[in-house]
């Protein structure tokens, strides 16, 4: 996140290409990451590149085979809905100094 490098990972049976933006804990203290998914599979499918519908909030402990990959950092202008999965932000790729605690 700090170097704005995309990742590839498996989640819910699909290999996904993701740009992680916000890392933090939900109201149950479980670690989640808000990502922009720009490639790979998804049970709900992906919209065109740059669509705000491609934002995903993912439980970190359900990610597997995570790897940093080469490629451009991708995003959409805004989330398609208000982000409610993270209550306590620990890292934010868009807000220096990045560590928010």
Is pLDDT of 97 > 90? no
Q: Where are the domains of the chain?
A: 7-92
Q: Sign of dihedral through CA atoms 55, 58, 63, 66?
A: positive
Question: 61: exposed, middle or buried (C-beta count within 10 Å: 0-12, 13-18, 19+)?
Answer: exposed
> What are 13-70's pLDDT values in tens digits?
999 999 999 999 999 999 999 999 999 999 888 998 888 889 999 999 999 999 999 9
Give CA–CA dist 11/101, Å, rounded.
27
Question: 37: exposed, middle or buried (C-beta count within 10 Å: 0-12, 13-18, 19+)?
Answer: buried
Predicted TM-score (pTM) of the model is 0.86
- 81 versus 78: the higher-pLDDT residue is 78
Only one residue has tokens 């995903």, namely: 56
């Amino acid at each position: 996140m700090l170097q704005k490098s995309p990742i590839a990972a498996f989640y819910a049976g699909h290999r996904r290409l993701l740009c992680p933006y916000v890392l933090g804990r939900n109201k149950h203290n479980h670690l989640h990451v808000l990502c922009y998914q720009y490639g790979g599979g998804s049970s709900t499918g992906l919209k065109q590149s740059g669509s705000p519908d491609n934002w995903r909030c993912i439980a970190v402990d359900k990610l597997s085979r995570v790897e940093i990959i080469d490629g451009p950092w991708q995003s959409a202008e805004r989330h398609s809905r208000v982000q409610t999965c993270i209550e306590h932000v620990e890292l934010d790729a868009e807000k220096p100094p990045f560590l928010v605690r």
